[in-house]
């Protein structure tokens, strides 16, 4: 097993067991639900937007380890960012897991999120990894639901 996939497994397991920002946010001014029928992952993203800034973001729901770990890390990555920065992260993450962005060769803002690059080898898992990102983006746009179908 390569070093990266070992790290990947450890991080996924850790975030699955102890998801960060995993709570219903009463004061949220944006909220969107995401559903991935392929796997059964279901989650709700809560956001507290203040002007142009994601002041707070949280999630709750149920799903496989990849969807939960990805949501957990997405909230950490997006918290405190501007709307434009959150959009850039969405695009980079999406392009990375679909194989359009080579995170080694192209400058990007993904940081720890690059551990999800291995997902592109498993097309059925790409939707698990991107569900929280699509849902976060829907919430930013004021949409209330998104399905990866
Ligand atoms: Zn899944």
Q: Count structural domains, the chain.
A: 1
Classify residue 34: in a domain, yes or no.
Answer: yes
The CATH code of the domain that includes 14 is 3.90.1010.10
Closest CA to 93 of 76, 75, 117, 67: 117
Classify residue 96: in a domain, yes or no.
Answer: yes
Q: Which two tokens stand for residue 98?
A: 């679909």
- What average pLDDT does this structure show over 96-118? 94
Percent of the residues in the chain that have a pLDDT greater than 90, as a whole number: 85
- CB burial of 53-72 (b: ≥16 within 10 Å; e: otherwise) equals ebebbbbbbebbebbbbbbb
Classify residue 124: in a domain, yes or no.
Answer: yes
Classify residue 16: in a domain, yes or no.
Answer: yes
Q: CB of 59 within 8 A of CB of 31?
A: no
Classify residue 149: in a domain, yes or no.
Answer: no
- Read off the pLDDT band of 1 (50, 70, 90): very low
- Read off the pLDDT band of 137 (50, 70, 90): very high
Classify residue 148: in a domain, yes or no.
Answer: no
Distance 25 CA to ligand 1 centre (A): 23
Closest CA to 69 of 6, 130, 25: 130
Q: Which domain holds residue 121?
A: 3-143
The one-character DSSP state at 17 is H
Distance 64 CA to ligand 1 centre (A): 4
Per-residue model confidence as pLDDT tens digits over 119-131: 999 888 999 999 9
pLDDT at 3 over 70: no
The span from the CA of 50 to the CA of 80, in Å, is 10
* C-alpha 38 chain-centroid distance: 17
Distance 128 CA to ligand 1 centre (A): 4
Distance 66 CA to ligand 1 centre (A): 6
The span from the CA of 64 to the CA of 67, in Å, is 5
- Read off the pLDDT band of 44 (50, 70, 90): very high
pLDDT for position 38: 94
């Amino acid at each position: 097993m390569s070093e990266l996939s070992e790290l990947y497994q450890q991080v996924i397991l850790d975030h699955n067991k102890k998801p960060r920002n995993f709570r219903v946010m009463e004061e949220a001014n944006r909220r969107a639900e995401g559903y991935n029928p392929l796997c059964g992952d279901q989650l709700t993203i809560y956001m507290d937007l203040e002007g142009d800034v994601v002041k707070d973001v949280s999630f709750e729901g149920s799903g496989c380890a990849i969807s939960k770990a990805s949501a957990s890390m997405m909230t950490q990555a997006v918290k405190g960012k501007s709307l434009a920065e959150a959009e850039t992260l969405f695009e980079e993450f999406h392009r990375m897991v679909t194989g359009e962005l080579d995170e080694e060769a192209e400058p990007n803002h993904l940081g720890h999120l690059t551990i999800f690059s291995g997902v592109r080898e498993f097309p059925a898992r790409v939707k698990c990894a991107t569900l929280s990102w699509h849902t976060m983006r829907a919430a930013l746009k004021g949409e209330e639901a998104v399905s990866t179908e």
